Amino acid sequence: MNRAQNKDILIFLLSSIGLIVLPHVLHLHFAVFGFFCLLLAWRFVGIWKPEYLPTFPWIFLLIVCGTAILYIQHRGILGRDGGTSLFVVALGLKLMEIKTERDLYLINYLAFIVAASQFLYEQSILMAAYILFVCGVLLATLVFINSHVANTTVALKKATVIIAQAIPMAIVVFILFPRVEPPRWLLFNDRQEAKMGLSDTMEPGSISDLGTSDELVFRVKFTGVIPQPNQRYWRGPVLTQTNGKKWWQATDLSYLRNLDKVSYSGQPYQYTLMMEPQEKDWVFALDMPVDFSSPLQRNANYQLITSDNLRKRSEFKLTSYPNYNTGDLTKTELQDALQLPGAPSEKIKQLVIQLHGYDSKPKDFINALLRHFRQEDFHYTLTPPLMEDKPIETFLFETRHGFCSHYASAFVYLMRVAGIPSRVVTGYQGGTFNEVGNFLEIKQADAHAWTEVWLDKEGWVRFDPTAAIAPERIEKNIDISRLTQDGLIQFSAANEGAHAAFNFLKQARQLWGHVDYNWQRWVINYNTANQSSFMSAFGIKDMKTMVYWMMGFVGIITAILSLFLLYQKPKPVNRTLLVFNKFLKKLAKVGLTKNPGEGARDFAERIKPELPEQAETIEAITSAFIAQHYGSRPTEVKFRRLCRLVAAFKI
């Protein structure tokens, strides 16, 4: 077996490749991953049983099987999923024909590509650390292949040193190299893994399904004052159309609001919002968003949408006002805000009459309805009973157990029966404050539905029926860890972060959230805009200057590394040799010099006849030197004796 087929090298290489492909078990089709695992296991067996390795007909059959698996997925060979599957299958097939050292290099380089493909799926700091680790192992494999004496420890150490030397250069290039944003048509169109989130429709229980999800939706970092929990309404889709059970958005949201101008008052909130990857083009701004820039736009329902690709994390700088007046209604808005699926039942009419919905001012009816929810036997729960037939009527008069969507839809329905324009607004409410990073984390469990009622001279005004039933939902966050099987909801403190210092696990979680937030913001989201902003702080305002800075830093790092690599550490001086050299210098004064390569004993025997009166001293010095320099037990006593003999030696 030649060196390219060395068992240790193959074991090291195959183990490295297994570590590289392992995280793809979460991303690739099970047939692709299973096919690769079969080939990897087969190649492992071939290390000890070479006769079990496939011959050409079998290799051809494996190629056909791999191609068929790729074709059956209907993903092609382009895009994220198709390209990654192709590389993984090719890597597995290449393992079957390792014959020369060149094959080992090709497999190693192909494995680097598969390792890099992990970032197409996940870009967390943990995944980055894992990929750095496996790339280090791959680099060690290259060192291993090139070593005449195969040693895994030495290979890993050398790979670690090489990576440590490359990191400063990589950081400089990452920060200063001009960022180029790819055109949208070049972005992969693979569908993001299904993520539970808000929909553009709402049915009874649809939002309660999110109430137990701890999945992060977005983070918000404020500049200055942070709004109180009861002001943290993050606006999403506005639902105006209903069939009595299901609610959805109006079909046309492109009409312009030319009849009125929105006015704002109160203290503005400025903040940076970082959205997690999602399918929709929605950006959940704090109600009511005012200042925003491209690619953001505001539709007719004051919801922010973006033309950017939200399948990656996106960051937006926004300003919102808590107090606003939207002005008059357009005809389209009025029609949408009064739409009913049909004539209301007698029970509904009697309830509206009972609460003076027909003969009182809108605000009086609103207060009466909220009081009705608060004083009657209504309950707030994540697991309301099923209400397939006439859900609003069943909820109001029979079950009286519901989540925010039940209360919002019933509230709007009763408003419209009374002839008051109203609509359902969905989004998120609240958020958990991270005291370490000083930002809010909004999760799927914060999904919420509230209502807007149009009032004369006030415009659209927010009313939250949930606050009448469970005011703690607005002031506090749902504690997912304390949910009971019967759906009873437990709430954590609104300032949960303030109590985290007394709980090590919560404090550690907040610290990790802070680290992950900065990783996502300053590394993953380090795009052209962020680079320009960062460089401007150092007076670098154009690409030419930025390139000069980059070349300067690269030159400095190259010079430092060159000095480090070329510097030869002086060998430690042997004091025994120094003393013996003094003895040799004394002899050289009378023309007796030691020849190159001549041993100390041979030299002594040669010069004794020349200095017969010093023969005994020469013998003593030579013996003391050999015992101290070459002996198995050199001691300080022997060294001092040698020093005394040399000092006393006179010619």
pLDDT for 460 beyond 60 = yes
Q: Would you say residue 486 lies in a domain?
A: yes
* Structure-model confidence comparison of residues 79 and 555, the more confident one: 555
Picking from 285, 281, 286, 272, the residue whose alpha carbon sits closest to that of residue 316 is 272
Segment 80-90 shows an average pLDDT of 87
pLDDT for 213 beyond 80 = no
Structure tokens at 101: 């050292």
pLDDT in tens, 445-457: 889 999 999 999 9
Q: Would you say residue 309 lies in a domain?
A: yes
pLDDT for 237 beyond 90 = yes
pLDDT of residue 533: 77
pLDDT of residue 497: 44
Picking from 123, 70, 92, the residue whose alpha carbon sits closest to that of residue 17 is 92
* Structure-model confidence comparison of residues 553 and 413, the more confident one: 413
Whether 130 and 212 share a structural domain? no
* Structure-model confidence comparison of residues 229 and 366, the more confident one: 366
Q: Would you say residue 560 lies in a domain?
A: no
Segment 326-351 shows an average pLDDT of 90
Q: Would you say residue 557 lies in a domain?
A: no
Segment 264-282 shows an average pLDDT of 89
- Choose one of 453, 483, 501: the last residue of a domain: 501
Segment 312-329 shows an average pLDDT of 89
pLDDT in tens, 303-319: 999 887 667 788 899 99
3-class DSSP assignment, residue 302: coil
Q: Would you say residue 553 lies in a domain?
A: no
Segment 206-211 shows an average pLDDT of 61
- If one counts every other C-beta atom within 10 angstroms of the C-beta of residue 104, the result is 22
Preceding omega of 465 cis (within 30 degrees of 0): no
Segment 254-266 shows an average pLDDT of 67
pLDDT of residue 484: 47
Show Cβ contacts of residue 640 under 8 Å, excluding neighbours closer than 6 positions: none
Where do we find the tokens 């309830």? 351
The DSSP annotation for 33-49 comes to: HHHHHHHHHHHHHHHH-
pLDDT of residue 330: 84
Where do we find the tokens 């099923």? 386
Q: With beta carbons less than 8 A apart as the criterion, state whether 279 and 199 touch.
A: no
pLDDT in tens, 417-433: 999 999 999 999 999 89
Query: What's the CA gap between 468 and 378, in Å, rounded?
Result: 10
pLDDT of residue 78: 63
CA angle 295, 301, 302 (to 5 degrees): 50
Whether 207 and 289 share a structural domain? yes
Q: Letter for the amino acid at 210?
A: L
Whether 468 and 359 share a structural domain? yes
Q: Would you say residue 190 lies in a domain?
A: no
Whether 252 and 116 share a structural domain? no
pLDDT of residue 490: 53
Q: With beta carbons less than 8 A apart as the criterion, state whether 285 and 442 touch.
A: no
- Choose one of 486, 501, 516: the last residue of a domain: 501
Confidence band for 294, pLDDT divided at 50, 70 and 90: confident
Beta bridge partner(s), residue 233: 429
Q: With beta carbons less than 8 A apart as the criterion, state whether 14 and 43 touch.
A: yes
Whether 329 and 262 share a structural domain? yes
Q: Please say whether the dihedral angle defined by the alpha carbons of residues 275, 276, 277 and 281, taken in this order, is positive or negative.
A: negative
| Measured CA distances, 272 to 124, 297, 429, 430 (Å) | 20, 16, 17, 16
* Structure-model confidence comparison of residues 552 and 500, the more confident one: 552
With residues binned 3-state (H G I as helix, E B as strand, rest as coil), the percentages for the chain, rounded to 5, are 50, 15, 35
Structure tokens at 450: 């509230």
pLDDT for 2 beyond 50 = no
pLDDT in tens, 11-65: 888 988 999 999 998 888 889 999 999 999 999 998 888 888 888 888 889 889 9
* Structure-model confidence comparison of residues 255 and 120, the more confident one: 120
Whether 339 and 426 share a structural domain? yes
pLDDT for 186 beyond 50 = no
pLDDT for 383 beyond 90 = no
pLDDT of residue 491: 53
Segment 357-380 shows an average pLDDT of 92
Q: Would you say residue 529 lies in a domain?
A: no
Domain that holds residue 169: 3-176
pLDDT of residue 183: 54
pLDDT of residue 494: 45
- If one counts every other C-beta atom within 10 angstroms of the C-beta of residue 196, the result is 12
pLDDT for 468 beyond 50 = yes
pLDDT of residue 295: 85
pLDDT for 279 beyond 90 = no
Whether 172 and 236 share a structural domain? no
pLDDT of residue 455: 94
The region of weakest confidence among 166-175, 442-451, 524-533 is 524-533
Whether 83 and 228 share a structural domain? no
Picking from 297, 298, 293, the residue whose alpha carbon sits closest to that of residue 316 is 293
* Structure-model confidence comparison of residues 572 and 402, the more confident one: 402
Task: State the total domains in the chain.
Answer: 3
Whether 36 and 142 share a structural domain? yes
The region of weakest confidence among 1-5, 527-531, 626-630 is 1-5
- If one counts every other C-beta atom within 10 angstroms of the C-beta of residue 35, the result is 23
| Measured CA distances, 528 to 174, 315, 319, 343, 542 (Å) | 12, 12, 22, 56, 12
Counting other chains too, the contacts that 23-30 makes at CB distance below 8 Å and 24 or more residues apart are: 23/118, 23/122, 23/127, 23/130, 24/84, 24/88, 24/114, 24/117, 24/118, 24/121, 26/121, 27/81, 27/84, 27/121, 28/81, 28/84, 28/85, 28/88, 29/69, 29/73, 29/85
Whether 329 and 241 share a structural domain? yes
Q: Would you say residue 87 lies in a domain?
A: yes
Structure tokens at 404: 């925010």
pLDDT for 590 beyond 90 = no
pLDDT of residue 363: 94
Phi, psi dihedrals of residue 360, rounded to the nearest 5°: -135, 170
Whether 468 and 591 share a structural domain? no
pLDDT for 350 beyond 90 = yes
- Choose one of 132, 161, 176: the last residue of a domain: 176
Max mean pLDDT range (159-173, 244-258, 356-370, 495-509): 356-370
pLDDT of residue 487: 46
Whether 614 and 490 share a structural domain? no
pLDDT for 502 beyond 80 = no
